[in-house]
Amino acid sequence: MSVTPIGGRLHDELRRKVTTASLREQKLRHEPITCLTAYDYATARLVDEAGIEMILVGDSLAQTMLGYENTLSVTVDEMLHHVKAVRRGVKSALLLADMPYGSYQIDSEDALRNATRFVKEGGAEVVKIEGGEKRADLIRRIIDAEIPVAGHIGLTPQSVNVMGGYKVQGKNLSGIEQLMRDALALDRAGVACIVLEGIPREVAAMITAEVGTPTIGIGAGPECDGQVLVFHDLVNLTFAPAAKFVRRYGDAAGLIRHAVQGFRADVKSLQYPSDEESYHLPTETKTGLDMVLARKRAMQR
């Protein structure tokens, strides 16, 4: 497999299998952890080969891939379809799968059954669950079943209707206290990492300093142990204005538009395909065919 050569040693390190233990080591070494979402084989391969340590099949695929309004509609089966594709593209990164809304809120048996499906059928190594303190017992049960769990607190998109929109959390003292309780509960429960989404930088820094678990920020400032972005935000493929924390590293929409318009224009103007882009008969077949056609034309005269 080819990776952009950045230098032999670094190259080898990038290709080493990432585990929940190696993430903790990275936190201890203060080596920033990178995480991106991916929802299909091709993207997963590119992200993995670039040396990103964690790949998340986020329920954000409800919006980015399936065009739903929010993340609430996506089902376990829809998620699994994407997790399986991503699994086939990932070699080194740690593969996380989001448990979608409704797959862990009903009861713990149901949650355990769904978490197990992500591991057995999807090949996920970690499942991610939104919520802090109130999910700690459930998370312990899932970890007891040998399934590593990632926590996710702050702006939790599955709570959009309760939060009354996508709002930055932890902006007042009681909010900060709740976030700290959530983070400590997840830390004690033994999660593999804690996603901190949409919270003030100062609060994320306090949590990161307080817990042994690696924190992965999205809209949570630079003091987190790592950063995650939604792939479609990174490459501008969202059809929506970017949130404050998003940095665009590419313009996939522009690239795709340009390619599609070019194809259309070339076909309409008979510029595509050219003779070089066409298959040709072998010479003897062509000679034989020409003779058959000539004989046919002579008989018709």
**Chain positions contacting ligand KIV, by CB under 6 A:** 37, 56, 58-60, 98, 195, 218, 228, 230
Of all residues in this chain, which one has the CB nearest to ligand KIV in the complex?
58
Name which of 97 and 189 has its Cβ closer to ligand KIV: 97
Question: Considering the complex, what minimum distance in angstroms separates the CB of residue 238 from ligand KIV?
Answer: 12
For this structure, is 197 an active site residue? Answer: yes
* Residue (of 65, 38, 58, 46) closest to 239 by Cα position: 65
Name which of 222 and 273 has its Cβ closer to ligand KIV: 222
* Residue (of 210, 220, 104, 226) closest to 170 by Cα position: 220
Q: Which distant-in-sequence residues (6+ apart) come within 8 Å of 156 by Cβ?
A: 130, 131, 163, 197
Distance from C-alpha of 40 to C-alpha of 46, rounded to nearest angstrom? 10
Torsion-angle region of residue 267: left (phi > 0), alpha (psi -120 to 50) or beta?
Answer: alpha
- CA 35, 38, 42, 46: dihedral to nearest 10 degrees? -10
Name which of 205 and 230 has its Cβ closer to ligand KIV: 230
71 within 8 A of 125, measured Cβ to Cβ? no
36 beta partners: 55, 229
Question: Considering the complex, what minimum distance in angstroms separates the CB of residue 279 from ligand KIV?
Answer: 43
Question: Considering the complex, what minimum distance in angstroms separates the CB of residue 194 from ligand KIV?
Answer: 11
Name which of 153 and 228 has its Cβ closer to ligand KIV: 228
Q: H/E element holding 12?
A: helix 8-14
Positive or negative CA dihedral for 210, 211, 214, 220? negative
Question: Considering the complex, what minimum distance in angstroms separates the CB of residue 250 from ligand KIV?
Answer: 18
**From 133, 177, 197, 276, active-site residue:** 197
Name which of 250 and 288 has its Cβ closer to ligand KIV: 250
Q: Is 233 helix (H, G, I), strand (E, B) or coil?
A: helix
Residues marked active site are found at 197
